[in-house]
Amino acid sequence: MVKIAFLVNLNVLFGNDMINPVHHGFTFGPDDTPLEIATGILHKPKLKRSGILQCRENCCIVIYLVRGEGTYRDGLRTLSVKAGDVILRIPEVKHEITPTSNGQWVERYIMLPRTYWEGLVQAGISAQTPVWKVGLHKPLLEIWQKLDECVAQHEPSRIPEALLLAQQFLVRAWEYSREINDDVQKQLLHRVCKTLSWDTDASLSLPDIAEELGMGYEHFRKCFRQEFGVAPGKYRQRVRMQRAQCLLITSEVTVKEIAAQMGYSDAFTFSKEFKRYAGMSPLTYRQEN
């Protein structure tokens, strides 16, 4: 069974621009457990704290912020949001969306049945974070426009097409967010690599570095290895040994002093590690070079 759920059309003055928010929606399926799909544009000219929100149990709302900025807050985190972000209002997750007070907030949203959303998550779309850093992309806006026009027809026969367009929007948005996240992650890893190059005394904890990046240690270790071909601990060890080689050749610093500079508690442990790396003891290396 299919019903037209709602149709709202309001004219809102937005600075010098007139925008026309339209909310179209269908309910379909059994009367006792109806499903809902809807689209719309929402402009908030007087932006106030929204308070604690919670989606209905049977739906998920996907917001594509096309103008403005603010914060998303739930029981676990506070995240900044800006134009180009996708915000997920996930069922049963209490949250708060607070735009800044500049009157620029404009969002395009999609309301999906919860079961449909859960199917997309099982297929590989991540719901680990409620904010995807996507960026403003013409293909995404075009898909959303087609979806909105499809839903606005209120033709039951077009419900499969509407669901397919919604899927295309989410998959494309997820792909864009992955590209951005990969670039950001690569930049962070290179910054960590540079930091480890100077951390010759091994004073920094690798698990603490991973935590600062928002990664589990094993995931951080895996990503570092993929980017640089060696685990972070081994990379730092290699840099320490290269620094020690340089000191042995260019200075008269004792092996004990070099060991201390490299963060070793004693010369014996340092010498053992150095021989494993260079194939000879520090003294032999100094004599032969």
Domain count, the chain: 2
**Res 207 pLDDT > 80:** yes
Q: Which of 30-34, 138-142, 222-226, 272-276 has the lowest mean pLDDT?
A: 30-34
**Res 168 pLDDT > 70:** yes
Helices marked H in the chain — which ranges? 114-122, 138-152, 159-198, 206-212, 217-228, 232-250, 255-261, 267-278, 282-288
What pLDDT, in 10s, does the model give residues 41-65? 888 765 444 444 555 567 788 999 9
Under the banding of pLDDT at 50, 70 and 90, the label for residue 11 is very low
Mark whether 25 and 154 lie in a shared domain: yes
Integer Cα distance of 85 and 105 in angstroms? 12
**b (16+ CB within 10 A) / e for 228-251:** beeebeebbbebbbebbbebbeee
**Res 253 pLDDT > 90:** no
| Domain span holding position 105 | 2-179
Predicted local distance difference test score (pLDDT) of residue 19: 47
**Res 14 pLDDT > 60:** no
Predicted local distance difference test score (pLDDT) of residue 15: 34
Q: Which of 34-48, 64-78, 79-93 has the lowest mean pLDDT?
A: 34-48
Strand partners, 8: 23
CATH number at residue 139: 2.60.120.280
Mark whether 121 and 245 lie in a shared domain: no
Predicted local distance difference test score (pLDDT) of residue 178: 76
CATH number at residue 279: 1.10.10.60
Q: Determine the 3-state secondary structure of 257 from DSSP.
A: helix
Predicted local distance difference test score (pLDDT) of residue 22: 64
Mean per-residue pLDDT of the chain: 79
**288: its two tokens:** 């032969």
pLDDT top residue among 172 and 9: 172
From 131, 150, 179, give the residue that closes a domain: 179
Q: Is residue 190 part of a domain?
A: no
Q: Is residue 191 part of a domain?
A: no
Contacts of 257 (CB under 8 A, 6+ apart): none
**How far from the centroid of its chain's Cα atoms is residue 163's Cα?**
25
